[in-house]
Amino acid sequence: MFDIELAKKASNNLKTLRGKNPLIHNITNFVVMNYTANALLACGASPVMAHAAEEVEEMVSFAGALVLNIGTLTPPWIDSMLKAGKRANELNIPVVLDPVGSGATKLRTTSAKRLIDELDIGVVRGNASEVLSLAHEDSLTKGVDAVHSVDEAADAAIQLARELDTTIAITGEVDLVTYGGRILMVHNGHPLMGSVTGTGCTATAIIGAFLAVDREPVVATTTALAYFGLAGEKGAIDAKGPGSFQMAILDALYTIDEKQMEEGVRIQS
């Protein structure tokens, strides 16, 4: 039922990531900066957060991937994202976008669409509502949490991925990853992940880390999501609630070994 080759690939990507320690340049929101930096370190990547217009082009040039996240955006941050993204595109460095709260306010929807229009984005990861908002003008998002199911968003995602020629990932109970009509489903994860802030943002950052070592976006994305979901499953075992769980996810990201990866990821292709 689950794809054995992709499970092997997931394990291999993690091994490569830990061997190469690529720099991941994040222009992200204030809420998750600490947690995603720690998650990236736990994965084996080397995170840097830098948003000044004066340095983003220089910083991204050292990076294995650029992660853009509009969670606490203001217009100057979007300008820096565009600057960094254009330089990344020139240098063929993969870019991943997290359109946090797109659909909730005009600023967020417009900014997300502008980033997609002006940059060559390799992967967009959001919840169902956020992804729908990129496709439809009249979509509704409640704050930054999803009000649409993955199923509702699936068709829109497939079409959007075709139109934009990009990989789209919708995360939820089951994660859906699509590009060029191809659809993969990731069955890893744990319900308690929804009670920790920034798990979506962290998934996006880890996709960035996997993109730095695997240039096939669909594969990098599905294996990254499976790894993060597996860390959630492992972290939940001894967690007493969302606080201890938050830290247990980091522990699991760090301790999951290649064998556990290969045996634990559940990707449906």
Minimum gap (Å) between residue 206 Cβ and a second copy: 15
The smaller minimum CB distance to a second copy, of residues 36 and 166, is found at 36
Minimum gap (Å) between residue 79 Cβ and a second copy: 12
Minimum gap (Å) between residue 43 Cβ and a second copy: 10
- Distance from the first to the final alpha carbon of the chain: 9
Site for a second copy, rule CB under 8 A: 23, 25, 29-35, 37-38, 41-42, 46-52, 54-55, 58-59, 62-63, 71-75, 101, 104-108, 142-145, 195-198, 239-244, 246-255
The smaller minimum CB distance to a second copy, of residues 73 and 123, is found at 73
Minimum gap (Å) between residue 245 Cβ and a second copy: 8
261/265 Cα distance (integer angstroms): 6
State both tokens at 230. Answer: 């597996």
The smaller minimum CB distance to a second copy, of residues 201 and 218, is found at 201
Minimum gap (Å) between residue 127 Cβ and a second copy: 12
- Using H for helix, E for strand and C for coil, what is the string for 30-63? CCCHHHHHHHHHHHCCEEEECCCCCCHHHHHCCC
What element of type H or E holds 98? strand 95-98
State both tokens at 134. Answer: 């990129």
User: Pseudo-torsion of CA 35, 254, 3, 217, nearest 10°?
Assistant: 50
Length of the chain as a residue count: 269
The smaller minimum CB distance to a second copy, of residues 76 and 180, is found at 76
The smaller minimum CB distance to a second copy, of residues 123 and 250, is found at 250
